[in-house]
Structure 1
Amino acid sequence: MKAHSATSIEEISLNRFHWKIAAYSAGGPFCDGYILGIIAPALAVLTPQLGLSPLMVSLIGASGLVGIFVGGLILGYVTDLVGRQMMYVIDLSIFAVASVLQFFVGEGWQLLVLRFLLGLAIGADYPIATALLTEFTPRKHRGLLLSINIFFWWAGYAVAYVVGYLMLGFGESSWRWMLASSAVPSAIVLALRLGTPESPRWLASKGRVEEALTIVKQAFGESADLGDLPPDPPRTSYANIFRGGYAKRTIFVSAFWMLQVTPLFAIYTFAPKVLEALNLHEGNLAYLGSAIASLFALAGIVPAMFLVGVIGRRPVLIWPFLITGFALLIIGMAPNSPSWAILALYFVFSFFNAAMSIMYWIYPNELFPTEIRATAMGFATAMSRVGAAVGTFLLPFSLATFGIGPTMIIAAVLCFAGFVISWFMAPETKDLSLEEASTVRKGV
């Protein structure tokens, strides 16, 4: 079906509406990053106070990631069925309520449940926010606007570490204030998201073309239109992300994302302990190093945001995998190096791991059509969190059993595996329309 118009939403110039949708969408990832980041400094304080066993510490550290697995696996599909707008608000409501409840926990299992619920909402927000933004964004600026989401994810993560570091002086209740503090950004973003319009592409995919056109014209003016729509789109079905060429794409986005986040979350969740194991014992150097590393990660996003639209998607994913692998390998082979050398390599890992992280929200949204976009994004999110949860759960045991050197070498091997998979499987989608990028062709 083709809608005739002077300007399709794929070609329209950026305007205030685009930036508003980008900001509202990015608010969710900011909360996501904050919620996942704040647990690291909080765990270091609350563990002795609640008398948590190593097993319970590992379970709490991984529970949010398990929640993301369930949320992505189920709620991405639900988003393709019922629409983006309603789910867009529900998940932020869960953020706000569960964040406040963390302040009142008295036992480990209570925190475990709340972290799982927060993870569930985060797993839903990934496909919801990115699908909605993707379906409003013109092709030339899609990479940049989607990258803003991951920039704000890292901003939330970095702010969480800084806030956690600053709240260490709050005394015995500092961890309660750390965990509950995520309610503040969550409530703000929830208020901003109220009234966000439904995705016109989703409406059109459900046969509600007139409603879709109304939203497009309200957002971009009377000359705007939907543009070209696929003549025979796949229906919303979980099975369709495993059929034909989409099966290969599902494997690719799930594999590279898993290999990117597994060492990231394992190391970052227990960053103070990892750095202490690397002989950074003086004062609060391990905590300060963790906070600075998150700022390096944030800095890594900035050049990648612009390079992805200039040199393409493939290079921004492939080469950072290789660089991060070598950084971790050197740490693992020489764990007793001077503190400055260890920190420098750790910052290199943080910078380049974050730089390539923009691709795990670009590729899944570009490689699948509207009818299964959130489903595919949710599935890839879920698979990535399998690796992240396993890595986070096993890292304390690996440190205790094998030591810091072999643990870092294992993490390096995962990065090298990501390099190989991306080299052979990553397609180039720069400058393609959503219809072109999401259409399976021979060899793609």
Structure 2
Amino acid sequence: MSTVIDTAPYTRFHKRLALACSGGPLLDGYILSIVGVALIGMQPQLGLSTADVSLIGAAALVGMFVGGAVFGVLTDRIGREVMYTADLLVMIVCSVASFWADQVWLIVALRFVLGMAVAADYPIATSLLAEWLPTRHRGRLLGKQIVAWYAGSVLAYVVGYAFLQLGGEGSWRWMLASSALLCVVFLLIRRGSPESPLWLAQHGRQDQAVAVVRKHLGVKVTADQLLAGEPDSADERLTAGSVRVLFSPAYRTRTLFCGLFFLCQVGPLFAMLTFGPQILGSFGLPGGTVMDTLGTGLISMVFLLGCYPALRAIDGVGRRPTIVWSFALMIVPLALLGVWPSAPAAVALVALCAYAFLCGGPNVLDWTYPNELFPTHIRATAVGFATSVSRVGAAIGTYLLPLSLTDLGTGPTMLIAAGVTAIGLLVCAFWAEETKGRSLQAASGSPRREAVHSL
């Protein structure tokens, strides 16, 4: 059943909310990518070992694992709006503190907390956005959140390159601190963003839910109309933010699907973005402060460009065929580099760009699927859980990639990445559902939902 939100006209309010919610992904892309450039100067200045570099690269991802798991649950229990700006304040403090950090343990600790704050933003912002969007625009605007991620990543390499040119390798402190400025910008953009009317209605605040819809959408609605198609409110209050519900018979398969496809996608992806210069260097691209950094920036740009045809595909051919075919094709360039580790640098760059472009399908569905497949009372919990699981893969990949390049070589490393992607293909082939054109309540509905009520 559709609600007034599902059928509402698309307005400037939706555009502003989508921009405000894009802050988390953009900052994630920036914070995770800028460290790859900063390590160029950080490693010789601080005398970092390979293990130190791996720890610094993986620290934010481990923090995201913790943050996604904890703050997704809290978001379903205490609301989307409560923590909407607090996480940005934490990012500002950690970014500024990074300027003075000169010990490995302190840099690792600050990036761990940064990761927690970034991961907190995903369940807060994407669930809030999903619960305000009309059906026709939901897939596109949720998918565009990953565009913000790659925009942040590209910006990080541009800023990093500029710092290297102007300040040399010693400018790495300014690189790490620069994310504070972006946080301030999004703090200003987020001023006045409303709470989710669905969350308000489910938590006994029906008058506020009705008022906020009238204010921002300009239509009159009742609480019953807002909650049409949702589970009974009494059950929601009992199970809001419950990880147990995610693994109940009603949602177990969806939970595994969202977590595993996300993990298999970002494991190789994050490692490549974080240590792009090292990968390209292994194929003979001149190292230093220019060519390898610009080459990785180009790959990041292609990741971004690949999202646009995928955004059209998920609303055209559908979510399921888009993600299945994308994973299948992503294997090809990785396998090519795996069996041809002596490929010229130009061939390696083209292959990695092809992989980046083909990643568009799962990229735009990273937050679309978990927001569509789970109802309001566990939506943020599901997004947080999927984010946490994905960052396990990302952290492992980021930690192991430089060690693998050193100990195993380029070919085996690329074959391992291809194997992880192949697992993602199997997960999608068996479990991916089609949610195109369905209302949020219909997409998140489950024929086995009654099993949740017994918990």
TM-score (norm 2): 0.93
- Other-structure match for 1:142: 138
**What's the offset of the Cα at 1:327?**
0.6
- Other-structure match for 1:268: 273
2:319 to 299, 313, 323: 313
Distance 2:213 2:199 in 1: 12
Distance 1:251 1:231 in 2: 22
Structure 2 residue runs without a partner (length 5+): 450-455
- Other-structure match for 2:202: 205
1:219 to 196, 216, 219: 216
Q: Which aligned pairs between 1:116-195 and structure 2 lie closer than 5 A?
A: 116-169=112-165, 170-195=167-192
| RMSD of aligned Cα (Å) | 1.6
* Distance change >3 Å, CA 303–CA 224, structure 1 → 2: farther
- In 1, are the aligned partners of 2:119 and 2:387 still within 8 Å (CA)? yes
* Distance change >3 Å, CA 231–CA 394, structure 1 → 2: closer
* Distance change >3 Å, CA 126–CA 231, structure 1 → 2: closer
- Other-structure match for 2:333: 327
- Other-structure match for 1:433: 439
Distance 2:71 2:145 in 1: 19
* Distance change >3 Å, CA 72–CA 270, structure 1 → 2: same
**What's the offset of the Cα at 1:206?**
0.9
**What's the offset of the Cα at 1:244?**
1.6
Once the two structures are overlaid, the 10-residue window that deviates more, 401-410 or 187-196, is 187-196
| 1:246 pairs with 2:248 | no
Q: Which aligned pairs between 1:36-47 and structure 2 lie closer than 5 A?
A: 36-47=32-43
- Other-structure match for 2:65: 69
**What's the offset of the Cα at 1:282?**
6.2
**What's the offset of the Cα at 1:49?**
0.5
**What's the offset of the Cα at 1:222?**
3.0
Distance 1:231 1:39 in 2: 44
Structure 1 residue runs without a partner (length 5+): none
Distance 1:384 1:138 in 2: 28
Distance 2:89 2:269 in 1: 27
Distance 1:176 1:19 in 2: 35
**What's the offset of the Cα at 1:172?**
4.1
Distance 1:442 1:79 in 2: 25
**What's the offset of the Cα at 1:9?**
0.7
Once the two structures are overlaid, the 10-residue window that deviates more, 329-338 or 274-283, is 274-283
SS in 2 for 1:358: helix
SS in 1 for 2:192: coil
| 1:93 pairs with 2:96 | no
- In 1, are the aligned partners of 2:40 and 2:169 still within 8 Å (CA)? no
* Distance change >3 Å, CA 313–CA 396, structure 1 → 2: same
Distance 1:342 1:408 in 2: 11
**What's the offset of the Cα at 1:224?**
5.0
Distance 1:113 1:329 in 2: 36
Distance 2:172 2:382 in 1: 36
Counting matched residue pairs gives 439
- In 1, are the aligned partners of 2:327 and 2:424 still within 8 Å (CA)? yes
- Other-structure match for 2:355: 349
Distance 1:201 1:305 in 2: 26
**What's the offset of the Cα at 1:129?**
0.6
1:18 to 14, 18, 31: 14
Distance 1:355 1:231 in 2: 31
- In 2, are the aligned partners of 1:368 and 1:439 still within 8 Å (CA)? yes
- In 2, are the aligned partners of 1:325 and 1:414 still within 8 Å (CA)? no
Distance 2:176 2:314 in 1: 34
SS in 2 for 1:57: helix
- In 2, are the aligned partners of 1:297 and 1:355 still within 8 Å (CA)? no
